[in-house]
Structure 1
């Protein structure tokens, strides 16, 4: 029965990641814990494999559509690698219920951020010509500010990926939009490159440091469904208004966050 639940659960996670990029994979851990019976530590480790593979599948489709900036994505991911290592080591020491309680807080932050992003999507900055009216000194200040924003965001994303097993796209996408002036579609496509790198580094750290045991039949079903869901999600993203997708997912995220917080708090 649990094995069969892996199909719809994986499909939903993949569709969310393919359609939204930013935050679309954050429900992987709750799904693995509450639907598929994994422990929090098993779930966060398995999530890294699922999210990384699903993101890798999504990169190809976004690349063909011209929505991936590979160079910046590789740099962002490389900068966040140290955070992924530290986050993975810290996660191994955390109490399972404290880990889930913190995860609930993360989902609230992501949900609120996605609601705000959905409302303000029509006002996204177009910085292709930013600084054109200023001098060299102004341009240098702008470039420095952008570099600092990217450095901080990349480190935070790495820590979140390592500790919670999430992709961190809900941080990457706003950072790419605000710091580099990307439109949302390009930011989402590029964020998948970052997710692949951070997930791989975090998973490698866990395997090398304290070992990871996977329920491979269950994870295999979940993973195949998630990859298929990513491809389906890419199609949905091109046909449904992004604001509607983001708002609906954010509301669902807040509901799951409340459930997770109550369950984990009662078990402390």
Structure 2
């Protein structure tokens, strides 16, 4: 199979993951670039951040009109992770690749486990009827958002810690953080799965932008445009079309699909790191 076809197929899968599940683009893009497209591991993280930034922006635009994006919650969640993102981005190229790969795999497996355990609770959340939101009160809905989106029982310190941790993961591993943002938003902030998917895109976009800017400043990126171009193009198209995925499946079904995807990727990468 030619490199062009592989790049298009990989990009489509990454776009569908980000657009339909709110994360998983970076966690799929990095191994795809390294193992399938032959990109040097040192460049794969930076290239992945570029792909995830463009794709998550597209997916966010697609989800913006659904009412499932808690913009202020996502922006606040990402803001506390800015400094950890910058620090981890500067540290990433100094650490051995097997260590980064193993850490990546373990975090993905832990996140998948929490997602699978929380499926029943998510199903209960999804079954609750949502109050109607008249178009004329959209501004009021946004003003009420911080109170409804950030469950007060979780505490601000726990929320800040989760955001800082996601920022560090983004900078260190070259991913947008969405594969951890979704389970965190569900379990820590108690968001329904659909709201977590949309809000995760805000977190992913902001984290990716910060980490990408830091990496480009400190080390740059070298990747064949013949690989990167088709990958990004297919990812953007996949993200735009993925809205239909969230419309056809329930929140718990999306949550289980995301968890299984994470476990499969984590297993593959952990085996590679050990062997």
* TM-score, normalised with respect to structure 1: 0.85
Q: Which moved more, 1:13-22 or 1:67-76?
A: 67-76
Match of 2:178 among 169, 181, 185: 169
Shift of 1:146: 2.6
**Equivalent residue for 2:81?**
80
| C-alpha distance in structure 2 between counterparts of 1:176 and 1:109, whole Å | 15
**Equivalent residue for 1:203?**
212
Q: Which moved more, 1:209-218 or 1:56-65?
A: 209-218
1:243 lines up with 2:244 in the alignment: no
**Equivalent residue for 2:160?**
151
Shift of 1:245: 3.3
**Equivalent residue for 2:34?**
33
| C-alpha distance in structure 2 between counterparts of 1:24 and 1:243, whole Å | 20
Contact 1:13 1:226 survives alignment (8 Å): yes
Change (3 A) 1:261 1:156: same
Q: Which moved more, 1:33-42 or 1:23-32?
A: 23-32
1:45 lines up with 2:46 in the alignment: yes
Contact 2:177 2:207 survives alignment (8 Å): no
| C-alpha distance in structure 2 between counterparts of 1:116 and 1:70, whole Å | 27
Shift of 1:234: 1.4
Shift of 1:21: 0.8
Give 3-state SS (helix, strand or coil) of 2:67's partner. Answer: coil
Shift of 1:173: 3.0
Q: Which runs of 5+ in 1 are unaligned?
A: 129-141
Shift of 1:191: 1.4
Shift of 1:192: 0.7
| C-alpha distance in structure 2 between counterparts of 1:182 and 1:145, whole Å | 12
Give 3-state SS (helix, strand or coil) of 1:93's partner. Answer: coil
**Equivalent residue for 2:202?**
193
**Equivalent residue for 2:234?**
225
**Equivalent residue for 2:138?**
none
Give 3-state SS (helix, strand or coil) of 1:67's partner. Answer: coil
Change (3 A) 1:252 1:170: closer
* TM-score, normalised with respect to structure 2: 0.83
Change (3 A) 1:181 1:116: closer
Q: How does 1:131-142 map to 2 (within 5 A)?
A: none
Q: Which moved more, 1:71-80 or 1:44-53?
A: 71-80
Alignment RMSD (CA, Å): 2.2
Contact 1:153 1:171 survives alignment (8 Å): no
Contact 1:114 1:170 survives alignment (8 Å): no
Change (3 A) 1:23 1:117: farther
Q: Which moved more, 1:195-204 or 1:59-68?
A: 59-68
Contact 1:158 1:198 survives alignment (8 Å): yes
1:4 lines up with 2:23 in the alignment: no
| C-alpha distance in structure 1 between counterparts of 2:72 and 2:258, whole Å | 29
Q: Which moved more, 1:64-73 or 1:190-199?
A: 64-73
Give 3-state SS (helix, strand or coil) of 1:26's partner. Answer: helix
Shift of 1:242: 3.2
**Equivalent residue for 2:65?**
64
